[in-house]
Amino acid sequence: MRILHLLVIGVLVFAAAYVYRIKMESTDRTERVLRLHAEIREQRDAIAVLRAEWARLDAPLRLQGLAERHLPLKPLAATQYDSLKNLPERPANLVRPGDPDPIGAMIQTIDAAAGAPAVTGSVPAPAPEDQQ
C-alpha cells in the first residue's frame, strides 16, 4: 500500500510540475504578444509621423518657394514657340504599303519551326476537321 501512495504522490508532483511549466510558457507567450502589440503601435505612430512630415515636405507652396530660390528658371515667353511649318520632314516609311508585315513574318516563321498551332488560352483550340 505504501508503494501505491508513493506512486500517486510522484504522479501528483509530476502533474503539478507539468501544469506549472505550461503556465510559465503561457505567461511568456502572453508577454511576448503584448510586447509585439506595443512594437506595432510604435511602428504605426512612426509611420504616421513620417507621413505627416512627407506631406509637409511635399507641399506645393514649399516646393514652389524652393524652386524660385534655388533654380534659375524663367517664365515662358510666346516667342519660344515655333510654327508647325518649321518642323522637320517626317521620316520615310520603312515598310511600303502592300508589303508583308516583317514582324508578322518572323512570328509565322517561329511558329512554323516550333510546329505548334497558334492557340491562346482565351481561344479554344480548333477541332481537327476545322484545320483542313
Tens of pLDDT, residues 103-130: 888 888 888 877 755 555 565 666 666 4
pTM more than 0.85: no
Residue 52 lies in a domain: yes
**Residue that is written with C-alpha cell 481537327 in the block:** 128
Is the model more confident about 47 or about 100? 47
Are 67 and 73 within 8 A, CB to CB?
yes
CA distances to 2, 100, 103 from 78, in Å: 112, 46, 44
**pLDDT at residue number 132:** 47
Are 106 and 112 within 8 A, CB to CB?
no
For the record, the C-alpha cell of 26 comes out as 503561457
Residue 26 lies in a domain: yes
Residue 51 lies in a domain: yes
Residue 45 lies in a domain: yes
**How many structural domains are present in the chain?**
1
Query: C-alpha angle with apex 89: 87 to 91, nearest 5 degrees?
Result: 130
CA distances to 6, 8, 9, 14 from 3, in Å: 5, 9, 10, 16
Residue 92 lies in a domain: no
Q: Where are the beta strands (DSSP E) in 1-132?
A: none
Domain assignment of residue 60, given as a range: 17-70
Residue 55 lies in a domain: yes
Residue 36 lies in a domain: yes
Residue 31 lies in a domain: yes
11-43, pLDDT tens digit by residue? Answer: 999 999 999 999 999 999 999 999 999 999 999
